[in-house]
A and B are shown apart, each in its own frame.
Chain A
């Protein structure tokens, strides 16, 4: 009589494919959308052009929206004044680019990129500093009350917009792209604007950097834990307020970066531009799931693509298409595509 255990081969039933795919559905949304666009748009070359410009737009919105969604996730603070940082970033960046006219006008890629980098740096420093002041003066006294946050940050937006008028005057400013970033190159028969490809690259870099920081560093761990349960993080001895201020400043700086990118994308800037972009940002933040960077990324790309495809297929429906997208996704997943798990209610 052997003492071996009875032969027992437990069979763990594999979940059906549909079940296993479920958590990945939001991630699949973007490729599926691109595929749908390919089927709906007759010419491959225009499909490629539209896809690149949709991705570029999505990346810019992501850069702007990521800070806002994190701020909400971390401290439950909803910042309607985020648009002010976009406008300020655009105006500061444009002023720097106009001042560096010699560098942007030269037909050298290195000099052009240096000028753009200088503009971006200036814009991010200014909007980051503004974010710090905004958090101190405007947001700090109204923690915990959404109603007051919306009102006060809206007031902050009005004041900031008026300050732009005071500093730069009321008229719109036209800004040309640097010499080597003008024009397009042809790829597979489609004209791809150089600047849009650069915007996609920058957006992707920001996303990867954010993910790296959030997933691989201790700071990221604290931020992620703070999103889930701020009180517990505080109980562990971390100063969550300081982390929050840091995230707020970083988010504002990213909005400034987005503002510069948007300014070079549109090649014209106005004081209310930030608030106009915010409409897309709100849609992205809602469909992505408030507080989730990944959801924000997927949402931004979806919105950018849908907007561009719709503008091509049915021009009048471009803005409505985003509302329809938001409604559809809210019906499908009421808490957004990547819902944030909160320890408290």
Chain B
């Protein structure tokens, strides 16, 4: 068990319990929460966990802020989509598309890293923001390849679609959709364990050293630029794989679901609130974020109606403004709990 977690124990009873709960809920989601909508949510949670964890690799362990993470996510998604579009539905198309997205993300990440990290680490945030927005515009313009603003629908092998049936287990009809879910689930679990391995390896230690004091790490003899560039590439490639899984699950890619600035902001909020540099923060943060997205909105809707007699307050509490309160929570957590929920649970600051 500890070997599987790469020796990185949760180190907190509550956290261990939460993680086990989330893992079990996701592993048996089709049986525990029947219905296509909850399955949709479960798959989304799996993918977002990997996406956020790969961002944590960069932000929490490397101390580098990137705004192009959704761009790499989109590369994986569009890789699969374009391959399936050109080669027809088949596992070879999916595999080749995912591989192409992976390689493209790695190369672009390397170029961006070399261009900006060579000069100054803070350039990275600005340059990635500019490049990501340019790519988003480009994707919506090159509609011949990417389907433009409408995005594109994927044709995937029949075994992964709801039309495919294969008997019953515990009174649940097993369709291709459920097989597809388990593909996403195992893929995400494997990627997460790989990331745990990376951050607990000697490489991960050096990254932590660089985050704490880049100058000192350089003085000890580690090439800071090389380490940061490698971390950028790794995180981009894992994000691309998560994107491929997401595309296969949704059977659709579009600029807003894969490249949007909103998604980037969500990732940033989750990483910080969940806990930077902990990996498990991605899991807890994502679960809480998705639950909050559903329930906080309801609560705010209720409060908004209850205060409808007062001026301005109902507007502040309207469910559409939930990002406002999340933003406030985000700022407060950067000040007071820089290690997020996980750091709090572990009792460290």
- Residues of A in contact with B (beta carbons under 8 Å apart): 78, 80, 138, 141-142, 146-148, 150-152, 154-156, 158-159, 162-163, 165-166, 170, 272, 275-276, 278-279, 282-283, 285-286, 290, 316, 319-320, 322-323, 326-327, 330, 334-335
Contacts and interface: CB of A to CB of B under 8 A. Distances in A.
Contacts, number: 100
Interface string B118-152: 11111101110111011001100110000000000
B320 A165 contact: yes
B47 interface: no
Contacts of B125: 78, 80, 150
Interface residues on B, range: 35 or more
Given A147-B63, A148-B334, A159-B324, A154 B130 contact: no
Given A159-B331, A323-B134, A148 B338 contact: yes
A279 B129 contact: yes
Nearest to A141: B335
B331 A156 contact: yes
Contacts of A316: 138, 141-142
B321 interface: yes
B328 interface: yes
B280 interface: no
B334 A155 contact: yes
A279 B133 contact: yes
A158 B141 contact: no
Nearest to B137: A319
B316 A152 contact: no
Interface of B: 59, 63, 65, 115-116, 118-123, 125-127, 129-131, 133-134, 137-138, 141-142, 261, 265, 268, 272, 312, 315-316, 318, 320-321, 323-324, 326-328, 330-331, 334-335, 338
Contacts of B116: 330
Name the residue among A150, A154, A278, A323 with the largest chain B CB count within 10 angstroms. Answer: A154
18 contacts: A78-B125, A141-B335, A147-B63, A151-B65, A158-B323, A158-B326, A158-B330, A159-B328, A162-B321, A165-B320, A166-B316, A166-B321, A275-B261, A276-B133, A286-B127, A290-B120, A316-B138, A323-B134
The 6 closest A-B pairs by CB, nearest first: A162-B324, A158-B327, A282-B126, A159-B327, A155-B331, A155-B330
Given A166-B321, A282-B129, A335 B328 contact: no
B138 A320 contact: yes
B272 A151 contact: yes
Interface centre among B119, B121, B123, B318, by most A CB within 10 Å? B123
Nearest to B332: A155
Given A158-B327, A283-B126, 4 more contacts: A146-B122, A163-B324, A286-B126, A286-B127
Main secondary structure of the interface of A (DSSP, over half): helix
A282 B331 contact: no
B209 to A, nearest CB: 15
A166 B322 CA distance: 11
Q: Which of B59, B142, B335 has the most CB of A within 10 A?
A: B335
A326 B130 contact: yes
A155 B133 contact: no
Contacts of A322: 130, 134
Contacts of A320: 134, 138
A128 to B, nearest CB: 21
Nearest to A283: B130
B125 to A, nearest CB: 5
B141 to A, nearest CB: 5
Given A159-B328, A165-B321, A152 B129 contact: no
A55 B121 CA distance: 31
Contacts of A146: 121-122
Given A151-B65, A335-B119, A158 B265 contact: yes
Contacts of B122: 78, 146, 150
Contacts of B321: 162, 165-166
Contacts of A165: 320-321
A148 B272 CA distance: 10
A319 B136 CA distance: 10
B121 A286 contact: no
A335 B119 CA distance: 7
A151 B268 contact: yes
A170 B315 CA distance: 11
Contact of A330 (B115, B137, B141, B265): B115
Contact of A142 (B138, B142, B334): B334
B338 A323 contact: no
A286 B123 contact: yes
A316 B318 CA distance: 39
Nearest to B59: A147
Contacts of B335: 141-142, 152
A216 to B, nearest CB: 31
Nearest to A281: B126
Given A159-B328, A170-B320, A319 B115 contact: no
Nearest to B328: A159
A321 B323 CA distance: 33
Nearest to B330: A155
A77 to B, nearest CB: 11
A292 B131 CA distance: 23
A286 B126 CA distance: 8
Nearest to A165: B321
